[in-house]
Amino acid sequence: MNRELRLEPVTPDNVEQALEIKVAPEQAAFVAPVAHSLAEAYASYKTAWPRLVYAGDRPVAFVMGGFDPDAEIECFRCGIWRLNVDAGSQGLGYGRLAVESVLEEARRRGSTRATVLWKPGANGPEGFYRRMGFEPTGQEFAGQIVGAIALG
């Protein structure tokens, strides 16, 4: 099996593949479905950066970064807005690649800090984001913990 990993923009050619990505049922309460994220990206947040992670020809994850240095709310200026790793593809490094790709894009754009929001809970993503280097800032937004990472 071809396991070459790559990130691709979500386009009309692969949007159906993006919509097929589903997290594990116990994680569904912690992240919006890809369809919701894409609706936000194209209808509300023109600064969104939606991407698919591919392993060979198979999409395995969706990530949406956000880059709006003028955003009124600080945690929306630069960071990870969504991460959905397909239930059957978790634990294989695809989420890590997605996060690292957003952080690389943030650095490319000159950002020195990135944020992520997570809902607290037993099946939530806090442990993953903390292993990636994000630390809680002590702030909350809409019931979610704000985490941040310095970009060196």
Find the mean pLDDT for residues 58-78.
95
CA 48, 53, 60, 134 dihedral sign is negative
Question: What is the pLDDT, as a whole number, of residue 42?
Answer: 84
The distance from CA 71 to its chain's CA centroid, rounded to whole angstroms, is 18
Alpha carbon distance 123, 30 (integer Å): 8
In a domain, 23, yes or no: yes
In a domain, 21, yes or no: yes
* One-letter identity of residue 108: R
Considering the entire predicted model, what is its pTM? 0.94
Q: Is the confidence at residue 16, as pLDDT, over 90?
A: yes
In a domain, 135, yes or no: no
- pLDDT, tens only, 94-126: 999 999 999 999 999 999 999 999 999 999 999
In a domain, 55, yes or no: yes
Overall number of domains in the chain: 1
In a domain, 124, yes or no: no
Q: How confident is the model at residue 17 (pLDDT cuts 50, 70, 90)?
A: very high
What CATH number has the domain bearing residue 30?
A: 3.40.630.30
Q: How confident is the model at residue 142 (pLDDT cuts 50, 70, 90)?
A: very high
Which pair of structure tokens corresponds to residue 9?
């923009």
Q: How confident is the model at residue 3 (pLDDT cuts 50, 70, 90)?
A: low
3-state secondary structure 7-35: EEECCCCCHHHHHCCCCCHHHHHHCCCHH
